[in-house]
Amino acid sequence: MAPKIKSNQDREHLRKQILDAARSLFVERGIEAVSMREIAKKINYSATTLYNHFADKDALLQAVCDNDFLALTGDMQKITQIPDLIERLKAFLLGYAHFALQYPNHYRLMFMTPRPNCDPDTSAIEKGNAEQDGYALIQQLVQAVFAADLFRADISDCELLVQTLWAGMHGVCSIEITLGKDQWVEWTTIEERLNLMLNVMLRGLLRYPDRIS
């Protein structure tokens, strides 16, 4: 029998249980294949209990995504205090990767599981607010580096820079998450792969590549 919900703390704990169970099942089986009843069963509650917290599966999926994207952006906020722009950019990209590797199930759902496009109208995240929106945060950082004239003179598209840097780090992370224990490959350490990817990208994009050690 599921425990009774008696306090706000109990409700928050239950909400976290629901989000964790939904995330795990969405990643394991695909979003379309999972029902609210199955999510409820995983945590020993009735589907009715889930509907008391979320209107439907779409609302639950949105809540999981909002929770995880806010966690990622919150984790990155301390990096914005680094005064040197190049060091800040390096720390941001490595921080992104470390989040992915620390929370692989979160990352799988956020960036590696087919799902409906995010709807800014229903999300708890304000699009363009760099305190909530991780994409806006890296846009802000890349634009600051660009404004300081630190990128190569022939590169003028900030969105292209953002998306290329993101893609490079995502590639290393996604391979590690999906194949990092595969014995067919004699893997070097993940830190070596992340640092080399970071250095290759920044040396190729920056006006003064010798600043990258």
Q: What are phi and psi of 200, to 5 degrees?
A: -60, -45
pLDDT at residue number 4: 58
Q: Is residue 59 part of a domain?
A: no
> Same structural domain for residues 50 and 70?
no
- Alpha-carbon distance of 100 to 111, in angstroms, equals 10
Residues 127-149 pLDDT 10s = 999 999 999 999 999 999 999 99
pTM above 0.85, yes or no: yes
Q: Give the confidence band of 192 by pLDDT, cuts at 50, 70, 90.
A: very high
> Same structural domain for residues 91 and 163?
yes
pLDDT at residue number 58: 92
> Same structural domain for residues 74 and 178?
yes
> Same structural domain for residues 14 and 42?
yes
pLDDT at 1 over 90: no
- Alpha-carbon distance of 93 to 6, in angstroms, equals 42
Q: Is residue 20 part of a domain?
A: yes
Q: Is residue 60 part of a domain?
A: no
pLDDT at 16 over 90: yes
| Percent of the chain whose pLDDT exceeds 70 | 97
Q: Is residue 124 part of a domain?
A: yes
> Same structural domain for residues 48 and 70?
no
- Alpha-carbon distance of 113 to 137, in angstroms, equals 23
> The CATH number of the domain where 170 resides is what?
1.10.357.10
Please state the rounded mean pLDDT for residues 20-43: 95
> The CATH number of the domain where 26 resides is what?
1.10.10.60
Q: Is residue 61 part of a domain?
A: no
| Coil, helix or strand at residue 23 | helix
pLDDT at residue number 210: 84
- Alpha-carbon distance of 130 to 152, in angstroms, equals 25
Q: What is the residue range of 13's domain?
A: 1-54
Residues 49-84 pLDDT 10s = 999 999 999 999 999 999 999 999 999 999 999 999
Please state the rounded mean pLDDT for residues 107-124: 86
Q: Is residue 90 part of a domain?
A: yes
Query: 121 or 196: whose pLDDT is higher?
Result: 196
* Domain count for the chain: 2
CA angle, residues 106, 196, 199, in degrees to nearest 5: 105
Q: Is residue 49 part of a domain?
A: yes
- Alpha-carbon distance of 205 to 152, in angstroms, equals 6
